[in-house]
Amino acid sequence: MSMERPQPNAYARAGVDVDVEAQASRIMYEASKKTFENRRGKLGEIVAPVDDFAGLKMIAAHGLPEGTFFSVGFDTAGTKVEIAERVGKYDTIAFDLFAMVCDDALVRGGEPVLVGTNLDVKTLGTDERFLPIIRELAEGYVAAAREANVAIVNGEIAQMGELMEGWGEFAFHWGAACVWFAEKEKLLTGKEIQAGDFVVMLRERGIRANGLSLARKILSEAHGEEWHTQVFGDSTLGLHMLSPSVIYSRAVVGMYGGFGERGACAVHGVAHITGGGVPEKVGRVLRPSGLGARLTELFEPGEIIAYCQSAGAVSDRDAYRAWNMGQGMAIFTPDPEAVVAHAARAGIDARVAGVVIPERKIELVSRGVENTGGVITFEI
């Protein structure tokens, strides 16, 4: 004998079914519990006195030595969530979210430890049809946390109704906060960088979670509103655009040394190549030192970025200011061979791209489609 589901209450008729929301919250909580192991026995170990998605969760932080600092960074997956909505694939978007909040901690020499997220959705409906999407998001949640070596403390979900717009029925937005810790002697301020240091670039083949508004505009104008279905290479434009961001946290923390751990390489600075591209992010890290960089051996842009640049007739100068153009992170170091080798052991392509110079400018040899080999100079 089957039991009928109770008739929706007033709240459910308004688009918010608390029973479905509770199921979704439990899915995210069960996913977050799988990440607790990432920090077991380390700074940031999760303590949960009550095993419940609404229960208290804390981190053990006693006995920290003098000279310990921590901070919190905030970011979102941005409009890349619309690509997931278009393609109907949700198990990689957590990589974009975690790359944005966790990799930013590396710029200051921090170790990402703890992540909390807020998933805003238009509606979860009054039945279970959207729960498979929540399970996909949760699957990516666990994998991304493992890659970043962080624990997830929550899985907050809010139904926003008419305030939320997107593509298709399941419109959502995903934001996060990342708690990171650092030791005073390992903090990176930019002043540690010296003329003659090498610049090692870590490769990013995808578009990450930046410059998407320009890319989406170009693709829409070239192929119409359903651009994501256009065949591109061995798949579609949508799937290429959705390619998950590389998370560099575990590898780069290993380079300069995590909290209480010895580093494998000498690192003087780190730039996370996100919004503003190479000139903005590399320039921002170099400003405190009053130095510049000459970048002659950059990676070529990934397929999807090169295609967008060509289809939109975007100049190389503008492309390097809008997109990562193949560079996900820059490491400033006097020991480039060790950095490249350490990255390789972590499965990350790296190369010596240039050198730090006394002049306050960024001079790069373009790998863009407009004028490959041309020299572009950006003032700092």
The overall longest dimension of the chain from CA atoms, in Å, is 80
Q: Is the pTM of this model over 0.95?
A: no
C-alpha dist (Å) from residue 102 to 95, 124, 149, 217 = 10, 28, 9, 28
Residues 82-139 pLDDT 10s? 999 999 999 999 999 999 999 999 999 999 999 999 999 999 998 999 999 999 999 9
Round to whole Å and give the CA distance between 363 and 333: 18
Question: What confidence tens digit (pLDDT) does each residue in 139-180 have?
Answer: 999 999 999 999 999 878 999 998 999 999 999 999 999 999
What mean pLDDT is predicted for residues 210-223? 96
Q: Which CATH superfamily is domain 14-186 in?
A: PurM-like, N-terminal domain (3.30.1330.10)
- Fold agreement (14-186, 198-379): no
> How high does pLDDT run on average in the chain?
92
Domain ranges of the chain: 14-186, 198-379
Which of 59-68, 117-126, 270-279 has the least mean pLDDT?
59-68
Band (18; pLDDT cuts 50, 70, 90):
low
Mean pLDDT on 45-67 = 72
For the domain made up of 198-379, give the CATH fold: Phosphoribosyl-aminoimidazole Synthetase; Chain A, domain 2 (3.90.650)
CB neighbours of 340 closer than 8 A, spacing ≥ 6? 200, 350, 351, 352
Range in 149-158, 241-250, 339-348 the model is least confident about: 149-158
Q: Is the pLDDT of residue 288 over 80?
A: yes
Residue 52 has a pLDDT of 55
Going by pLDDT thresholds of 50, 70 and 90, the confidence category of residue 4 is low
